[in-house]
Chain A
Amino acid sequence: NAGVMQNPRHLVRRRGQEARLRCSPMKGHSHVYWYRQLPEEGLKFMVYLQKENIIDESGMPKERFSAEFPKEGPSILRIQQVVRGDSAAYFCASSRTEVNAEAFFGQGTRLTVV
């Protein structure tokens, strides 16, 4: 059973371009979480999705950021018109349905905006 897969591992974008980060949850997991980690900081919650539904996006900036988790395929975190401040590591985690289910993390995508 493969773990949570994120790609790409590293992504470089120029200011104003779009960034697309992908996350394939573990088999059997229907919950996906996205976190952002700035240098020397902990993880900050961005958005929580279930298949085809956004459950909580309270941690995601209202402008330029969007996320989806379609019925088929990976979850996508999309950042439009990237700015230097978007440079960070973005982590995806997935879990089963149960409330106490452990969340498993991917290895993250490091986004660098130049």
Chain B
Amino acid sequence: AQTVTQSQPEMSVQEAETVTLSCTYDTSESDYYLFWYKQPPSRQMILVIRQEAYKQQNATENRFSVNFQKAAKSFSLKISDSQLGDAAMYFCAYRSSYNNNDMRFGAGTRLTVKP
């Protein structure tokens, strides 16, 4: 079964600095999708970035980028120039290409941004 592990329950970063959130996953599938979601105190789940496993190029979205290491099954999120509004819970998620319903989430990392 696919599992997603986020080994950092909490992280903090100084405003304007860079922080990296870790995520590893376990799967026997070759094709899948990986996501990072942000959950602010409002509880809304907001998609930050997605990565298709068949693409070697790391996805980027403005200040957010990923380091996708398929062989190592690692999918870390880098936030550059951190802003106070980035403070939230961040969840890494895995979605199977074969089962549309099979989407697994990590336990989350709480990110604090210090002014």
Contacts and interface: CB of A to CB of B under 8 A. Distances in A.
B97 A100 contact: yes
A107 B104 contact: no
Interface residues of A, number: 25
A44 B101 CA distance: 12
Interface in B77-111: 91, 95, 97, 99-108
B45 interface: yes
Contacts of B37: 105
Interface of B: 4, 6, 33, 37, 42-45, 47, 50, 52, 91, 95, 97, 99-108
9 contacts: A42-B4, A42-B6, A42-B108, A43-B91, A45-B104, A56-B99, A56-B101, A104-B47, A108-B45
Contacts, number: 53
Contacts of B91: 42-43
Given A91-B45, A100-B97, A105-B45, A45 B107 contact: no
Interface of A: 31, 33, 35, 40-45, 48, 55-56, 89, 91, 93, 95, 99-100, 102-105, 107-108, 110
B107 A108 contact: no
B97 A48 contact: no
